């Protein structure tokens, strides 16, 4: 098939044409959540952008197989193999077992994903399901001389590679070695950048989940799971690997090191990384304690899909700062958008020429390194265009395959929930606008009369910081 997608590849630091290993088919791997706490909306930004990537590929005709792991063992509080196991930390905090914590937060993660219309990957595999595969890969790395045993642990020997820092240029490499200087020294390591493939009980006596291995009872390091789980389901050659930018080093760097040493050939061609969602104090992170979740947004009255729109309005390769002010603007824009689409007259013919034209413009935006804000501009242009309502409705339905903003269903659902139909809504909005003008002209008697007229029709209005809100009495 025609390959029309271009994407930024962290490996080459360039926007490149995307050409899969097998014509028409894409194998894609996503680093899944560490399930010791709720996902914060920063984590979910990464999953929303990866969802757009997957759906764009499907939209333009690829047959995609996507795999995701669930990290339920081995991820320590520092990515550099020091500190406590995050899962154990979660279990202690909540006086539960590690497996109870894992189940609870895995379910919570997929429930958040569903609220944001993030499609569940074709395969979801918890790390604890694949211990024999990890042991097999580690044994092979030991046999090939890429790994060594020290102090009861098995380490990957990064000095065996010509270029360990595959994602970095020279100055970044020097910086990364410098960063490693700050990390607690593990005297077992031959080189600062070596990383753990298997811990034995010598590391943590209170580790809850442990397995027998040729090197003693212990548990896997964090990185090995993604190499093994992706190969188990996608084979030795992979097209796209995704994650947040914090995964580039050390996690993805280590994945490449161990996978390519094990396979003896190049493993994954394209690396897709999403930049962070920040709050005013910096990167949002689970370990900070106070963080924003989907449930928190819901409790403040936001439809989670408004957060999806918030993410789609910015480019995945730019950091994004969260603010309620912008979210409020998005909520207002979303309301208008779904009202506009929900009140289109669906009867009549779809104009095929106009349909193809706007669909190509929409595809073009997405195929240019997933320019979602441009894709949304195409949606707005299309809604303003001089084409039939039926064509607009068909296009909105089609675009929503990728945007997943409930474009054609949200309005009807809202009508059913609030008991307010399109006619009444249009009347209320007209009256609110009239009242705004009256207040501006200091005609407060008229403004009060409008409020009373609305109340008679069963509508209560409220002046808030974000503008006028209204509901059925
Ligand atoms: P974790 O559950 O910590 O393993 O992270 C899950 C995913 O969220 C990974 O792909 C991370 O790279 C990504 N991530 C973590 N923090 C942020 C953030 N503030 N903004 C966007 N993505 C993030
Ligand atoms: Zn991973």
Question: What CATH number corresponds to the domain at position 113?
Answer: 3.40.50.620
pLDDT in tens, 228-267: 999 999 999 999 999 999 999 999 999 999 999 999 999 9
The answer to whether residues 410 and 427 belong to one domain is no
Tell me whether residue 285 is in a domain.
no
| Cα 374 to averaged position of ligand 1 atoms, centre (Å) | 25
| Cα 335 to averaged position of ligand 2 atoms, centre (Å) | 37
Tell me whether residue 284 is in a domain.
no
Which residues, by Cβ under 5 Å, contact ligand 2, an ion?
Answer: 31, 226
The answer to whether residues 386 and 431 belong to one domain is no
The answer to whether residues 76 and 145 belong to one domain is yes
| CB contact set of 312 (below 8 Å; sequence gap of 6+) | 48, 52, 372, 373, 375, 376, 403, 405
Tell me whether residue 279 is in a domain.
no
Among protein residues, the one whose CA lies closest to atom 2 of ligand 1: 33
Residue 468 pLDDT class (50, 70, 90 cuts): confident
| Cα 77 to averaged position of ligand 1 atoms, centre (Å) | 14
The answer to whether residues 45 and 163 belong to one domain is yes
Tell which of 368, 390, 415 closes a domain.
Answer: 415
User: How many independent structural domains does the chain possess?
Assistant: 3
Tell me whether residue 131 is in a domain.
yes
> What pLDDT score was predicted for residue 298?
95
- At 312, which CATH number? 1.20.120
- The average confidence (pLDDT) of the chain is 91
The answer to whether residues 329 and 247 belong to one domain is no
Q: Which of 302, 225, 304, 238 is nearest to 271 (CA)?
A: 238
State how far the Cα of 79 lies from the Cα of 183, in Å rounded to an integer: 10
Burial state string for 277-301 with b = 16 or more CB within 10 A and e = fewer than 16: bebeeeebebeeeebbbbeebeeee
State how far the Cα of 392 lies from the Cα of 355, in Å rounded to an integer: 8
Give yes or no for residue 420 having a pLDDT over 90.
Answer: no
pLDDT in tens, 39-86: 999 999 999 999 999 999 999 999 999 999 999 886 776 656 666 778
Mean pLDDT, range 153-165, rounded to an integer: 95
275: which 2 tokens?
């930049």
CA angle (239 as vertex; 237, 241 as ends), nearest 5: 105
State how far the Cα of 156 lies from the Cα of 250, in Å rounded to an integer: 13
State how far the Cα of 403 lies from the Cα of 52, in Å rounded to an integer: 7
The answer to whether residues 108 and 64 belong to one domain is yes
DSSP 103-148: HHHHHHHHHHHHHTTPPPPSEEEEGGG-HHHHHHHHHHHHHTTSEE
Show the DSSP H helices in 11-63 as ranges.
Answer: 41-59
Tell me whether residue 286 is in a domain.
no
Ligand number, closest to the Cα atom of 248: 1
Tell me whether residue 283 is in a domain.
no
| Cα 311 to averaged position of ligand 1 atoms, centre (Å) | 14
Mean pLDDT, range 384-400, rounded to an integer: 97
247 lines ligand 1 (CB under 6 A): yes
| Cα 133 to averaged position of ligand 1 atoms, centre (Å) | 25
Tell me whether residue 49 is in a domain.
yes
| Cα 68 to averaged position of ligand 2 atoms, centre (Å) | 9
DSSP 180-239: HHHSPP-TT-SSTT-EEEEEETTT-TT-S--B--TT-SEEE-STHHHHHHHHHHH-S-EE
Among protein residues, the one whose CA lies closest to atom 8 of ligand 1: 43
250 lines ligand 1 (CB under 6 A): no
The answer to whether residues 423 and 408 belong to one domain is no
State how far the Cα of 141 lies from the Cα of 261, in Å rounded to an integer: 7
The answer to whether residues 404 and 440 belong to one domain is no
32 lines ligand 1 (CB under 6 A): no
Tell which of 207, 240, 274 closes a domain.
Answer: 274
The answer to whether residues 47 and 186 belong to one domain is yes
Owning domain of residue 355 = 294-415
Tell which of 274, 306, 331 closes a domain.
Answer: 274
The answer to whether residues 116 and 171 belong to one domain is yes
> What pLDDT score was predicted for residue 407?
97
Tell me whether residue 287 is in a domain.
no
- Whether 8 and 317 have beta carbons less than 8 Å apart is answered as yes
Q: 271 in helix, strand or coil?
A: strand
The answer to whether residues 242 and 386 belong to one domain is no
Among protein residues, the one whose CA lies closest to atom 22 of ligand 1: 43
Q: Which of 340, 339, 427 is nearest to 385 (CA)?
A: 340
33 lines ligand 1 (CB under 6 A): yes
The answer to whether residues 165 and 193 belong to one domain is yes
Whole-structure pTM value: 0.90
State how far the Cα of 163 lies from the Cα of 168, in Å rounded to an integer: 10
> What pLDDT score was predicted for residue 434?
93
283 lines ligand 1 (CB under 6 A): yes
């Amino acid at each position: 098939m025609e390959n029309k997608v271009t994407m930024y590849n962290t490996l080459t630091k360039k926007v490149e044409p995307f050409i899969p290993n097998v014509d028409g088919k894409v194998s894609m791997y996503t680093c899944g959540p560490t399930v010791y706490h709720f996902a914060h909306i920063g984590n979910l930004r990464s999953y929303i952008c990866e969802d757009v990537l997957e759906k764009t590929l499907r939209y333009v005709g690829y047959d995609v197989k996507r795999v995701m792991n669930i990290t339920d063992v081995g991820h320590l509080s520092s990515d550099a193999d020091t500190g406590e196991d995050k899962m154990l930390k979660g279990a202690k905090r909540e006086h539960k077992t590690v497996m109870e914590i894992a189940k609870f937060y895995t379910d919570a993660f997929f429930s958040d994903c569903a609220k944001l219309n993030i499609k569940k990957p074709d395969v979801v595999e918890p790390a604890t399901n694949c211990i024999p595969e990890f042991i097999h890969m580690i044994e092979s790395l030991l046999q090939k001389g890429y790994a060594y045993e020290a102090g009861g642990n098995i380490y990957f020997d990064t000095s065996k590679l010509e270029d360990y820092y595959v994602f970095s240029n020279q100055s970044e490499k020097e910086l990364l070695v410098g960063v490693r200087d700050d990390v607690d020294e593990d005297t077992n390591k031959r080189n600062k950048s070596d990383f753990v493939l298997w811990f034995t009980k010598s590391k943590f006596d209170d580790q809850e989940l442990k397995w027998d291995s040729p090197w003693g009872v212990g548990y896997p390091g964090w990185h090995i799971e993604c190499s093994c789980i992706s190969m188990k389901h996608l084979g030795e050659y992979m097209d796209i690997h995704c994650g947040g930018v914090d995964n580039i080093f050390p996690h993805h760097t280590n994945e490449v090191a161990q996978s390519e040493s094990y396979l003896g050939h190049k493993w994954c061609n394209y690396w897709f990384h999403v930049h962070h969602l920040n709050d005013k104090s910096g990167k949002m992170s689970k370990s900070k304690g106070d963080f924003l979740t989907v449930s928190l947004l819901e409790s403040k009255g936001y439809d989670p899909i408004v957060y999806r729109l918030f993410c789609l309005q910015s480019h995945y390769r730019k950091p994004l700062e969260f603010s309620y002010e912008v979210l409020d603007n998005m909520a207002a824009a979303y309301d208008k958008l779904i009202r506009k689409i929900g009140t289109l007259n669906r009867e009549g013919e779809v104009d095929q020429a106009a349909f193809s034209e706007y669909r190509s413009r929409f595809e073009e935006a997405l195929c240019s390194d997933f320019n979602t804000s441009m894709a949304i501009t195409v949606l707005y242009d299309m809604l303003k265009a001089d084409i039939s309502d039926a064509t607009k409705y068909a296009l909105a339905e089609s675009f929503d395959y990728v945007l997943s903003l409930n474009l054609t269903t949200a309005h009807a659902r809202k009508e059913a929930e609030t008991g307010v139909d399109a006619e009444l809504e249009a009347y209320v909005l007209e009256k609110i606008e009239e009242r705004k003008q009256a207040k501006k002209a200091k005609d407060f008697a008229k403004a009060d009369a409008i409020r009373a007229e609305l109340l008679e029709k069963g509508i209560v209005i409220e002046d808030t910081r974000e503008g006028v809100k209204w509901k059925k009495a």
